[in-house]
Structure 1
Amino acid sequence: MNNPAPLTSRDTLYIAGMWSEDSDRAWIEVENPVTEDVIGRVPSATNADVDRAVTAAVDLHRRGGWRDIGISERAKALSALADGIERRASDFEALYTLDQGGLAAFANFTAAAAAAIFRDTASLAQQIDLGPTRRDTTTGSVYVSREPVGPVAAIVPWNAPLVLAAVKIAPALLAGCPVIVKISPETPLVSFVLAEVFAEAGLPEGLISFLPGGRDLGRYLISRPGIGHISFTGSTAAGQQVMATAAERMTRVTLELGGKSAALVLDDAEPEQFAPLLAAGCTVQSGQVCTTQSRLLVPARNGKQWLDALTQAFDNLPVGDPADPSTAVGPLVSRAQLDRVESFVETARQEGATVLTGGGKPAGAPFEHGYWYLPTLLTGTNSTMQVNREEVFGPVITVETYEDLDAGIEAVNDTEFGLSNGIYTSDIDRALSIAPRLESGAVAINSAGPNVTAPFGGLKMSGLGREGGIEGVEAFLETKQVNLPASS
């Protein structure tokens, strides 16, 4: 298609199904984390834009302009959107590398995953009965139906702007809800391409809006009357604020929050075989993933062998230009993120940790600019240290030993978080027997993360509710009874 604007600079926002230009808006400068150069700019949405988006969404919902077309027709629209995402895959992939520093080797996954989320969600229409269904009980008869909760405020973080937008938008739309998407200012570019996909789809006015902006914009959006559900992905601290705001109006929430995931390596796993797998999985997107397995727990009986194998595997990870297909670790997203990672490692050193490898910026001319940090492996840590208690969001991994399986499981669960954990073993049946003992919403066997089209969410301080699968759609539905007169 002919793009209405260059991919890295935009002057309009997609609000309530229309492109809107306003000279009074401020601008968000978009930075390339490889070079630190400003590569473009996009408008920053205002509170007035939020008002317009919410008003249009509420109007559409009350008129039944999306709800009343039926779930089968909504599913067809989702399938068409999946096709549109696939047609624009090369643009999504280019922007993933440009404004986020994401790896070219991983970029194609983001577009494919987003399309899969829309397509898989569409397929759920055949499994969801919205009713009305008659129920005859000892106290009378009722019709029970499930109805869309209303306009959804979807707060999308910077680290996975396409996939996490998809996992919020698709189920809400299938349920019959309009959506207002608040986009992070750190990585806003992909949202404009996604908006173009929606614009081409010919959907009703008011159905969707994409609003780039910071925390104040998000706070204003979730506080607006008319919002029926808040779907938020971000830090636990921010999630607590969202929950407090939602409580004022009893707004429904789905919260996918922070994690401090562990990889429990069983005693049958061979270091030479599994160390490269662990190193690659722990440093996906330079560790800027909520499910990063940042705590490695290995058997004490061959702990030295594991330390040697992991150090070698981390040293073998190529750091460099994310556009190069051979690169395994790219830059962090921003100066603020680099400062955060450096602070965590320095604090760990002061608390007694030993840096086995990494622990700083790479040397050499290619790394004079940009937000680089070497894959870092720490040992000599314990569960009381900051690096093991808080989410780093960088390529910083601790490795500790455990004496027996019970001790290993106890170490996995010794955290306030419960998002996702991993089990590494050559015995899948054994892993399946251990998985129920791990206090997390997801467990990955011999892999680094969850399935993006299955129900996913956290326990403990890692959140409330589930995204993905039928459970993800049901989050946007409310149950209603219509009580029949006694003679019916």
Structure 2
Amino acid sequence: MSLLDVPARLPVKDEVQPLLICGRPVAGDGPVLDVVNPANGSLIGRVATSSAAQVRETIAKAESALRETAWRHRPPHERARFLSRTADEIERQADHLAELQMLENGKTRKESRAQAMMAAGIFRYYAAVCECSEDAMPPARGDYFTMTVHEPVGVVAALTPWNSPLTMGAQKIAPALAAGNAVVLKAAETTSFVSLALGQCAVTAGVPEGLVSVIAGRVDTAVALVEDPGIGLISFTGGTSTGQSIARGASARLVPMILELGGKSPHIVFADSDLEAAAKSVASGIFGGTGQSCVAGSRLFVQRAVADRFRELLISAAMAMRVGPPTDPDSVLGPLASFAHRDRVEGFVKRGVDAGGEILLGGKRPEGDAFAEGAYYLPTIIGGIENSSPIAQEEIFGPVLCFMLFDEEEDLIAAANDSVFGLAAGIWTNDYRRAWRVARALEAGTVWINTYKQLSIAAPFGGYKLSGLGREKGLQGMRAYQQAKSLYWAI
């Protein structure tokens, strides 16, 4: 079976999907992965994986391709043309890509298609950034002039998560190619099909052979990738503990890293805010995507004076978000991405209740035949807990919201910042002075004011503290895949 021959074909259960190595379909030499549909527990298909030896061979081929294609030396407008063509191909394949993502991780078809179009927009944006970015001429301090130029790092190891493989894959492949590099992307185990299809879009668009590879596998495959001496930079999105492990391994070789890790984002509602709008935003901010988002607003802080009224509005907004099969256009929440992950989420909720928490909404699986075979879990709100409790401190990565109260702004800021994470935060208030004060005081890489989860590929994104290192998106997102060099010219 050739990826080139069947770009819009869904997985076939009795076939093993090949890998995409240096632009070509190649059989893997590792154990085969079974990929399961979390909506009904059925087998989607089987995917090949790579051994450590095959990973090393892939990286060596990518290094050769960089030399032979002279990709780094091509004028920016030429590289931009390939990125733009890739965006066109992703748009052409949007329905197919959305179907694959929906089957693999349970996101609704509507959300998955929106993410496919976002992936196309990411490639189109970096086509523009590639062509229009400028180097600099810093002021000299003598009879010479200086230039700062930016050069690619070589072969990039990209590791993507299972929750949003389309956007996360595009967010790594596009800027890395724009910067003049080759990319070897390691797909998450449960979303290999859609990641392979995304890589194939770049190949079909004509990106020179050897510059894009997509491999699959478990932990040993990832370790072989990030520890290979041929890797010039590691870009990882995923859990904090895994990111820390990668950082420890890479530190010995001083390999640059971009790490976008976990979050436990505070969502803050002051008494003077538009409570109805805030309730809808808080609900979508945690329950959208079934809570499987690094920026999910999972810690809610409500000013005590409006807590009762806001609780009513929030529960009403959450109950209006329909849980159902991801194929149903009316579904807002599909299943969790796997049965094992649902077990993990249920464990967190149980421990929260055992510690004195009160279930205000949900806290269980939905009932009915439509949900019996899938990894479904209801939107859940837990009250009666302190910010110091484990359920309020640890990332659950599911549809679970901690409902907490505050009185004064100073105490609120201290509680919101009392976390090892610092990825995002939300503020609801009609006082722009307060919004400015609180936004500047919060230890988070992104702060939303009277909105939530509004994202732009043009704005840098990343976290404070254990939420990561470096920034993706924006011009910085391309520069992160380059290294600066200063040139001094005597006059």
What is the 5 A alignment of 1:328-343? 328-343=332-347
Q: Residue 6 of structure 2 aligns with which residue? A: 3
Q: What SS does the corresponding residue of 1:34 show, helix, strand or coil?
A: coil
Q: Residue 420 of structure 1 aligns with which residue? A: 424
Q: Residue 121 of structure 1 aligns with which residue? A: 126
Maintained 8 Å contact 1:113/1:452:
no
How far did 1:232 drift?
0.5
Q: Does 1:478 align with 2:462?
A: no
User: TM-score of the superposition, structure 1-length normalised?
Assistant: 0.94
Taking the aligned partners of 2:128 and 2:437, their CA distance within structure 1 comes to: 31
How far did 1:405 drift?
2.1
Tell me which moved more, 161-170 or 56-65.
Answer: 56-65
Q: What SS does the corresponding residue of 1:228 show, helix, strand or coil?
A: strand
2:22 to 16, 36, 42: 16
Q: Residue 392 of structure 1 aligns with which residue? A: 396
Q: What do the CA deviations read for 1:29-52 (whole angstroms, capped 9, x no partner)?
A: 111101111121111122232112
Tell me which moved more, 404-413 or 181-190.
Answer: 404-413
Q: What do the CA deviations read for 1:16-70 (whole angstroms, capped 9, x no partner)?
A: 1222135x44211111101111121111122232112210222233456210112
What is the 5 A alignment of 1:245-284? 245-284=249-288
Q: Residue 440 of structure 1 aligns with which residue? A: 444
How far did 1:430 drift?
4.8
1:47 to 29, 44, 52: 52
Q: Residue 371 of structure 1 aligns with which residue? A: 375
1:185 to 156, 168, 189: 189
Taking the aligned partners of 2:193 and 2:46, their CA distance within structure 1 comes to: 9
Q: Does 1:108 align with 2:113?
A: yes
Instruction: Give me the identity figure in percent.
Output: 38
Structure 1 spans left out of the alignment, 5+ residues: none
Q: What do you get for the CA RMSD once the two structures are aligned? A: 2.0
Tell me which moved more, 201-210 or 78-87.
Answer: 201-210
How far did 1:142 drift?
4.9
How far did 1:2 drift?
5.7
1:286 to 282, 286, 290: 290
How far did 1:406 drift?
2.2
Q: Residue 150 of structure 2 aligns with which residue? A: 146
Taking the aligned partners of 1:294 and 1:416, their CA distance within structure 2 comes to: 14
Tell me which moved more, 202-211 or 374-383.
Answer: 202-211
Maintained 8 Å contact 1:105/1:326:
no
Q: What SS does the corresponding residue of 1:50 show, helix, strand or coil?
A: helix
Maintained 8 Å contact 1:157/1:233:
yes
Letter in 2 for 1:405: E
How far did 1:143 drift?
4.6
Aligned length: 484
Q: What SS does the corresponding residue of 1:260 show, helix, strand or coil?
A: coil
How far did 1:215 drift?
1.7
Maintained 8 Å contact 2:445/2:461:
yes
Letter in 2 for 1:82: A
Q: Residue 356 of structure 1 aligns with which residue? A: 360
Maintained 8 Å contact 2:23/2:200:
no
Q: What do the CA deviations read for 1:249-283 (whole angstroms, capped 9, x no partner)?
A: 11000000000001111222243343233212211
Q: Residue 226 of structure 2 aligns with which residue? A: 222
How far did 1:141 drift?
5.1
Letter in 1 for 2:251: A
Maintained 8 Å contact 1:150/1:178:
yes
Q: What SS does the corresponding residue of 1:39 show, helix, strand or coil?
A: strand
Letter in 2 for 1:119: R
Taking the aligned partners of 2:224 and 2:116, their CA distance within structure 1 comes to: 30
Q: Does 1:235 align with 2:234?
A: no
The verdict on how the C-alpha distance between 1:234 and 1:205 changes in structure 2, with shifts beyond 3 A counting, is: same
Taking the aligned partners of 1:234 and 1:124, their CA distance within structure 2 comes to: 26
Taking the aligned partners of 1:111 and 1:427, their CA distance within structure 2 comes to: 37
Letter in 1 for 2:415: A
Taking the aligned partners of 1:451 and 1:64, their CA distance within structure 2 comes to: 35
How far did 1:95 drift?
1.4
Q: Residue 60 of structure 1 aligns with which residue? A: 65
Structure 2 spans left out of the alignment, 5+ residues: none
Q: What do the CA deviations read for 1:401-459 (whole angstroms, capped 9, x no partner)?
A: 11022222222111111001111234567534532121100012233325140210000
Taking the aligned partners of 1:141 and 1:448, their CA distance within structure 2 comes to: 46
Maintained 8 Å contact 1:27/1:42:
yes
1:35 to 33, 40, 43: 40
Letter in 1 for 2:444: S
